[in-house]
Amino acid sequence: DTEVTQTPKHLVMGMTNKKSLKCEQHMGHRAMYWYKQKAKKPPELMFVYSYEKLSINESVPSRFSPECPNSSLLNLHLHALQPEDSALYLCASSPYQGSGELFFGEGSRLTVL
């Protein structure tokens, strides 16, 4: 299994809602990542987890809260988002932090109204 699975594929939420994005991999990878991608722009790194611990936070606003319950799962909790947070949120995994070969999911398309 070489897939990274992200759910939901599409999400629409209001600015006062609380929602979560989920990511799962069963490749035994010990590093997991969240990227944000706006239309016609490159993916921007948000968070990196290594061995289930937060390793890198790219100064992401606190309305985005990552969580890594175990080595296969990565969540991104969303609260009080702004319309400008609408984007494609991509999850990725790699064998270890520092491996240049990331395996990406297809993303969760988020729309904030």
Partner 1 sequence: LAKTTQPISMDSYEGQEVNITCSHNNIATNDYITWYQQFPSQGPRFIIQGYKTKVTNEVASLFIPADRKSSTLSLPRVSLSDTAVYYCLVGDIGSSNTGKLIFGQGTTLQVKP
Could you say which of 13, 20, 52, 56 contacts partner 1 (CB under 8 A)? 56
Q: What is the Cα–Cα distance from 80 to 96, expressed in whole angstroms? A: 32
Q: Is 55 in the site for partner 1 (CB under 8 A)?
A: yes
Smallest separation (angstroms) from partner 1 to the CB of 85: 18
Q: How many other C-beta atoms are found inside a 10 Å radius of the C-beta of residue 107?
A: 21
Site for partner 1 in 63-102 (CB under 8 A): 88, 90, 92, 94, 96-102
Establish whether the linkage from the previous residue to 69 is cis, with ω within 30° of 0. no
d(CA 4, CA 72): 10
Name the residues that contact partner 1, by CB under 8 A: 4, 31, 42-45, 48, 50, 55-56, 88, 90, 92, 94, 96-107, 109
